[in-house]
Amino acid sequence: MRPNKEDVIQQLITHIGKFCAIAPGRSGLIAPFFEHRVYKKKQLLLEEGQRCFEKFFIIKGCVNIYYLKQNGVEQTIDFAMENWWISDFMAFSNGSPAQFSIRAIEATEALCISADSQRALLSKVPEMNEYFHLVFQKAYAASQVRMKLINELPKEELYRDFQEKFPAFIQRVPQYLLASFLGFTPEYLSEIRKKYIS
């Protein structure tokens, strides 16, 4: 049974509450600014080259964000699962063509908000400024740490670190996408995983 929008919005409001306080009476103002969508496995949420006007809060499922290299090979740069935000944030900010595609790895539900709706939301519920600031500050910090680890750690240690911090991704993300994200060949990742599969 497909959940109704009120249940889905409550998941977002719970997440907001982990970062900032919004009075219960004001939390009801948030729902109209979001659209609830369901995506099939392998369906695109965003395609490279499209103008990007939305960002996505993942309610259920898992997606990857990637671009096509000059040789035509997909390069995954990140994943998102439940309670994570994802978009081509540069393109979202200025409505420019996306440099990345976002694809559902699993059947996925998301709350989508357009740039125009976000501006209106921030005007009506100013507390959301703090929420978005803290969420994306945390995400940017994680990205910085990831870049350091990719450049500093030997490949096996990089995999082990990822496995310890994000075990859910190891279980849910196809091996070839995980290899792309970590900068490995699928064959090399397979060899490493054999050593660490319990």
pLDDT in tens, 156-186: 888 888 888 888 888 899 999 999 998 888 8
Q: Rounded to an integer, what distance in angstroms lies between the CA atom of residue 23 and that of residue 93?
A: 28
Domain span holding position 89: 5-141
25, 93, 107, 26: which is closest to 59 by C-alpha?
Answer: 107
The answer to whether 58 and 81 are in contact (CB under 8 A) is yes
Check whether residue 46 and residue 115 sit in a common domain. Answer: yes
Check whether residue 15 and residue 110 sit in a common domain. Answer: yes
Strand order in the sheet with 74-81: 44-46, 101-104, 62-68, 74-81
- Reported as a single tens digit per residue, the pLDDT across 53-112 is 999 999 999 999 999 999 989 999 999 999 999 999 999 999 899 999 999 999 999 999
What are 53's two structure tokens? 């006007």
**Total-model pTM:** 0.91
* DSSP conformational letter for 53: -
What are 166's two structure tokens? 């994000």
Check whether residue 24 and residue 117 sit in a common domain. Answer: yes
The answer to whether 97 and 52 are in contact (CB under 8 A) is yes
At position 71, the amino acid (one-letter code) is N
Check whether residue 16 and residue 104 sit in a common domain. Answer: yes
CATH (domain of 125): 2.60.120.10
Q: Flag whether 19 is in a domain.
A: yes
Q: Is the dihedral of CA 115, 120, 122, 123 positive or negative?
A: positive
